[in-house]
Amino acid sequence: MSSATASATAPIPVTVLTGYLGAGKTTLLNRILTEDHGKKYAVIVNEFGEVGIDNDLVVDTDEEVFEMNNGCICCTVRGDLIRIIEGLMKRKGSFDGILIETTGLADPAPVAQTFFMDDDVRARTRLDAIVTVVDALNLASRLDDAPEAEDQVAFADVILLNKVDLVTPEQLARVRSDIRAINPYARVIETERCKVELGEILDKGAFDLTRILSVDPDFLVDDHHHHNEDVRSISLKAGDLDPEKFFDFVNRETQAQGPNILRLKGILAFKDDPDRYVVQGVHMIVEGDHQRPWRADEPRESRLVFIGRDLDWAGLRTGFEACRIAA
C-alpha cells in the first residue's frame, strides 16, 4: 500500500474533551484552536441550556465548529453526533482530527461508545483519548454530589488538573489522591488555564479499551446511564442592560446562592457600550471581560444562563429583568 493510500484510509483520531461544569474545557479548546500546531481540527461542541453561549465563547477560528444544543450529547443527541461524523468522513483529508467538547454534565462513556457501536463510525475513526479537565478547587465537593464528575475522572486517559492557582499545595495533594483513588492509570498534568503542551494530549493513542472494560464491563453492551435530575438551568434574555445594576445583581446572587450555582455564563449588551461583554462564573468566582465589538449584522442581545441546584429561579429572573434599560 502506498503511503498516500495509507493516509487516505487511516482512521481519523478523535479526542473527547470532558470535565465538570466550569472546569476549563472551553479554555482548553481555545488553546488548541489558537496554537500554531499546523493541524486542522473539526470541532463538535455540545452544551447544556437552551440559549447557545458556548459557541460564542470559542475563539474565532478557521476550523469548523458544529454546535449541538438540543440535548445532552451522551443521550438524546447521539444520533446527531453520528450524523455529523458521517458528514465529516465524506470530506476526509481536509482535517487531521476531530475534537468533541461534551457538556459538563455528560457521562463520557456513551460518547466514547459511539466510536465502537456504530459500524461506519468505527471503521473510519479512532478514539484517541478521553481528556478530562478537573477543577482543583471544586472537585472534592463534586465527587460528593455529582456522579458525572466521578465518571469523567474514571474514564479519562489524560487528566488536566486545572486551576492550580486557586488551591494550596495541601489541597492540591488531596485532589491528586482523590483522582488516584478513582483512576490510577490516567496521566495527570497540573495546569493553570489549561496551559499544556498539546503534544501531551493530542494524537497520543492513549485510549485503552481493555482498561475501560475493567471500569465498565457493559461498555460495549448498551447505554444505561442516568442524569442527575436535580441540576437545572435557566436561560434569560434581554436587550441592553444597565451595567451597574447587572454587577450588583450578579454579586448579590453569587453571594446568596453561590454554593448552588454550578455555572453562570452570559454575553451581554451594556448600554452605550459598543463591545460585547462576557461574564462567567463557577460558584462564587465570577470573571468578566469585553470580548469584541457587536457586529452590525447581529442583534444587541443579552443572554445569561445559570446552571445549578435548588436555585431561586424566579428571583434570578426578576433580578435580571430589573437590570434592563427601560425602552
Ligand X SMILES: Nc1nc2c(ncn2[C@@H]2O[C@H](COP(=O)(O)OP(=O)(O)OP(=O)(O)O)[C@@H](O)[C@H]2O)c(=O)[nH]1
- Does 254 bind ligand X (CB under 6 A)? Our answer is no
Would you list the DSSP string of 91-154?
Answer: TTTS-SEEEEEPPTT--HHHHHHHHHHSHHHHHHEEEEEEEEEEETTTHHHHHHH-HHHHHHHH
Restricting to residues 99-118, name those near ligand X by CB under 6 A: 104
287-306 binders of ligand X (CB under 6 A): 287
Q: Is 283 in the site for ligand X (CB under 6 A)?
A: no
- Contact between 308 and ligand X by CB under 6 A: the answer reads no
The distance of closest approach from Cβ of residue 117 to ligand X in the complex, given in angstroms and rounded to an integer, is 25
Radius of gyration of the chain from its Cα atoms, rounded to whole angstroms: 20
68 sits near ligand X (criterion: CB under 6 A): no
The residue from 56, 63, 67, 192 that contacts ligand X (CB under 6 A) is 192
Q: Specify the amino acid at residue 317.
A: R
Q: Which is nearer to ligand X, 104 or 110 (CB)?
A: 104
Q: Which is nearer to ligand X, 91 or 292 (CB)?
A: 292
Q: Report if residue 232 touches ligand X, rule: CB under 6 A.
A: no
Which member of 13, 24, 108, 319 binds ligand X (CB under 6 A)?
24
Q: Which is nearer to ligand X, 41 or 219 (CB)?
A: 41
Answer for which of 31, 78, 263, 283 binds ligand X (CB under 6 A) is 263
C-beta of residue 305 within 8 angstroms of C-beta of residue 235: yes
Does position 190 bind ligand X by CB under 6 A?
Answer: no
Q: Are 82 and 124 in contact (CB under 8 A)?
A: no
46 in contact with ligand X (CB under 6 A): no
Nearest to 22 by CA among 103, 112, 111: 103
End-to-end Cα spacing for the chain = 69
Q: What is the DSSP letter of 15?
A: E
| Smallest separation (angstroms) from ligand X to the CB of 127 | 20
Does 163 bind ligand X (CB under 6 A)? Our answer is: yes
Q: What are residue 266's DSSP bridge partners?
A: 279, 304
Q: In whole angstroms, what is the distance from residue 197 CA to residue 129 CA? A: 15
Among 12, 14, 16, 21, binds ligand X (CB under 6 A): 21
Q: Indicate whether 165 belongs to the interface with ligand X (CB under 6 A).
A: yes
Alpha helix segments (H runs only) across the chain: 3-9, 25-34, 54-57, 78-89, 108-117, 119-124, 139-145, 147-154, 169-182, 209-215, 243-257, 313-321
Nearer to ligand X, 114 or 280 (CB): 280
Q: Which is nearer to ligand X, 113 or 280 (CB)?
A: 280
* Cα distance between residue 101 and residue 104, in whole Å: 9
Left, alpha or beta for 189 (phi > 0: left; psi -120 to 50: alpha)? beta
Number of residues that bind ligand X (CB under 6 A): 21
Whose Cβ is closer to ligand X: residue 120's or residue 165's?
A: 165
Among 166, 198, 238, 256, binds ligand X (CB under 6 A): 166
Which residue from 15, 16, 54, 97 is in contact with ligand X, where contact means CB under 6 A? 54
Among 12, 14, 16, 23, the residue binding ligand X under the rule CB under 6 A is 23
Q: Is position 193 an interface residue for ligand X (rule: CB under 6 A)?
A: yes
Return d(Cα 180, Cα 43) in angstroms, integer. Answer: 30
Smallest distance, Å, CB 302 to ligand X?
18
19 binds ligand X (CB under 6 A): yes
Q: Residue 308 corresponds to which cell in the numbers above?
A: 445549578
Please report, as ranges, the residues that interact with ligand X according to CB under 6 A: 19, 21-27, 54, 104, 162-163, 165-166, 192-194, 263, 280, 282, 287
